[in-house]
């Protein structure tokens, strides 16, 4: 749970930075956010969660 909240915060910060530096438009940010919400409600959500956990596990052993 802590990792999920931290990643959500990290992705939120990156999104704000991209919007402020105009590397990402508001329309694109909205589409990206809606894609994330839609993906979270599909069967792929478990796969994405497992992938993130595996990557974080590998990074913690470096």
Task: Tell me what pLDDT residue 54 has.
Answer: 92
pTM of the model: 0.56
Using one digit for the tens of pLDDT, what is the confidence trace for 6-47?
777 777 788 888 889 988 888 888 888 888 888 788 888 888
Q: What is the pLDDT of residue 4?
A: 59
CA angle 45, 4, 28 (to 5 degrees): 65
Report d(CA 43, CA 45) in Å as an integer. 5
Please determine, for residue 3, whether its predicted confidence score (pLDDT) is greater than 70. no
């Amino acid at each position: 749970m802590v990792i999920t909240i931290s990643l959500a915060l990290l992705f939120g910060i990156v999104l704000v930075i991209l919007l402020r530096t105009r590397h990402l438009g508001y329309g694109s940010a909205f589409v990206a956010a809606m894609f994330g919400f839609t993906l979270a409600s599909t069967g792929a959500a478990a796969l994405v969660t497992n992938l993130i956990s595996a990557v974080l596990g590998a990074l913690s052993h470096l």
